[in-house]
Amino acid sequence: MSTPGTAEEGQAVAERRLHPVTPLRRAWAPVTVIVGWTVHDPGRIREQLAHLSAARLLLGLTVVVLVACVYGFLSWWFTRFAVTGTELRIRTGLLFRRTAHIRLDRLQAVDVTRPLLARVAGVAKLKLDVVGTGDKDELAYLGEAEARALRAELLARAAGFAPETAHEVGEAPARLLLRVPPRMLAVSLLLSGTTWGSSAAALAVPPLVWAATHNLWTVLALGLPLLGGALTRSAGRFADAYDWTVSESPDGLRIDHGLLDRAHETVPPGRVQAVHLVEPLLWRRRGWVRVRLDVAGSPRSVLVPVAPREIAEAVIARVLPGVTVPASLSRPPRRAAWCLPFWWRGHGLAVTDAVFAARHGLLHRSLALVPHAKVQSVRLRQGPWKRFRRVADVLVDTGANTTVTARLRDAGEAAALLYAQADRSRTGRRDARPDRWMVS
C-alpha cells in the first residue's frame, strides 16, 4: 500500500494510501448530488423521467453507477499520506490538489471512530485535532489495526520519540476508571429537563393547533416532527453515550463510547483549561453529576455523561492532579438580591490553593473549576447599579476562550480577589504539568 514519495530533508518518505474499501464510501458523493437535485425539484424530475423509456432509464442508471465508481476510485488513488520527522502530510483532491501539513508537536488529540458500516467492514477513521484549527483533518478509512498503530506512532512522535523508534512504542496501557451503566444513563435521560421539555412540547402543541384550526393535516405536520424530534434527541443521546468508559493512560484520559458509532477519544494531558460539574435538579436526590471540560483548541466537552458525585470527583482528580472539589462556597452578600432577586442565592465562590471555583444556577446548578495555572486574564466588571449596591463581578478567562464568572461579590472583596488571583495565576504556572504526550 505504499509508493515512493517525495524527498524531505534529503530522505525519501514513503507515502501510503487509505484502505481499499474507501472508494466505496467516496462513490456516494455523485449519488448524493443527484439525490439532492431530485429532492430540490421533484416535479421537473418526474416530468423528465416520464419521457424516458425503460431501456434509457436503465442505461442512465448504469452510467451514474460507473461514474460514481470511477470517481471513488480516482479520489482514493490520489489520496496519500506520509509521516515525516516533523509532520503528517496528507495529499487529497482529484481536480484541485490539496496538501495538509500537520505539525506533530501541534497535535491536540488523535481519535479513532468506527461508524456502524465501518465496523462491519473492519475499518476505522482517524480524526486529528490540531492546535489553532477549527476543523479536524481526518484519514478515512484505515484498517482497524493500522489506525491504532498509526495513532500510537503519531502520539509517540508528538511526545518526542525518534522517528525510527516511534513505531515500536505501541499503544500505551490503560487503566479503567469509570464505566457508565446503561440503566443509569437511561434514567438520567428520563430525569433530564431537556427530555421533559421536548416531550411536553410534542404533547401540548397538537391539541392547541387542533383547537385553533380543526385541520388534521396541520396537526400532523406540526405534531409528528415535534414527536420525532423528542424521540430522536433522547435516543440519539443514549446511543452516543452508550457504554461510556473513561480510562487512564500515559497519553491522557481515554474515552470510549457509542452504540452504533464507536468513538475512541483522548483528553490531552495538561491542556484541560476548566472543569464543570453540572447538577440538574432531578439528579440531586440521587447524587448524580455530569462533568464537562474546556480544552484549549478543541471542541471536546463531555468527560462523564452521568456518574455518582464521589466517582466523578475521583475522575476530576486524575484530570487535574492535586485539585479537590470545594465542599462549601460563599454566597454573595444579601444586598446582591437587589441586582438579581432570588437567583442570587445560586451563585457561590471558593478559592483554594489549586483552583478558582465559581457556581451559578438554582435549578440547573453548575460549578466551574479553573486551575490557577490555566488563568489567562482576570477582569472586574461593575455597572452603575452594582456600584450603587457595592457589588461587582470577577471574570476569569481561560486558554479555551471561555470565561468563568464569580457574580455579585462584595466590591471590596472583588477588588482584593482581582489582584490576588493575578498573583496566584502567575506563580501557579511555575508548577504546571508539561503539555506533552506520554510525559508523567
Per-residue pLDDT tens over the stretch 248-267: 887 778 899 999 888 888 88
- CATH, domain range 16-168: 2.30.29.30
Where residue 1 falls among pLDDT bands split at 50, 70, 90? very low
Where does the pLDDT of residue 378 fall: very low under 50, low under 70, confident under 90, or very high at 90 and above?
very high
Select the more confidently predicted residue: 159 or 415: 415
Kindly state the percentage of the chain with pLDDT values over 90.
32
What is the average pLDDT across 183-194? 89
Which pLDDT tens digit goes with each residue over 306-316? 999 999 999 99
pLDDT value, residue 375: 92
**Model pTM greater than 0.85?**
no
Lowest mean pLDDT among 81-95, 174-188, 415-429: 81-95
pLDDT at residue 6, rounded to an integer: 46
- Domain ranges for the chain, please list them: 16-168, 172-262, 268-431
pLDDT range class, residue 10, cuts 50, 70, 90: very low
Which region among 15-29, 289-303, 416-430 has the lowest average model confidence (pLDDT)? 15-29
**Position 3 confidence tier, pLDDT thresholds 50, 70, 90:** very low
pLDDT of residue 308: 96
- The larger pLDDT score, comparing residue 101 to residue 350, is at 350
CA 183 vs. chain centroid, Å, equals 23
In this predicted model, what pLDDT tens digit does every residue of 275-301 receive, in sequence order?
999 999 999 999 999 999 998 766 668
pLDDT at position 109 is 77
Examine the pLDDT at 56 and tell me if it is beyond 50.
Answer: yes
69-97: average pLDDT: 85
- CB–CB of 213/149 below 8 Å? no
How is residue 66 written as a grid cell? 460507473
CB 13 within 8 A of CB 137: no
User: Who contacts 109 (Cβ-Cβ below 8 Å, separation ≥6)?
Assistant: 127, 128, 129, 252, 265, 266, 267, 268, 298, 300
Lowest mean pLDDT, pick from 7-21, 91-105, 109-123, 398-412: 7-21
State how far the Cα of 272 lies from the Cα of 313, in Å rounded to an integer: 15
At a CB cut-off of 8 Å and minimum separation 6, what does 63 contact? none
Cis (ω within 30 of 0) for the bond into 141?
yes
Mean pLDDT for the stretch of residues 243-247: 93
264 class by beta-carbon count within 10 Å (0-12 exposed, 13-18 middle, 19+ buried): buried
Q: What confidence category does residue 367 fall into, taking pLDDT thresholds of 50, 70 and 90? A: very high
Instruction: Kindly list the distances between the CA atom of residue 82 and the CA atoms of 4, 29, 121, 158, 235, in Å, as whole numbers in the listed order.
Output: 10, 25, 24, 15, 39
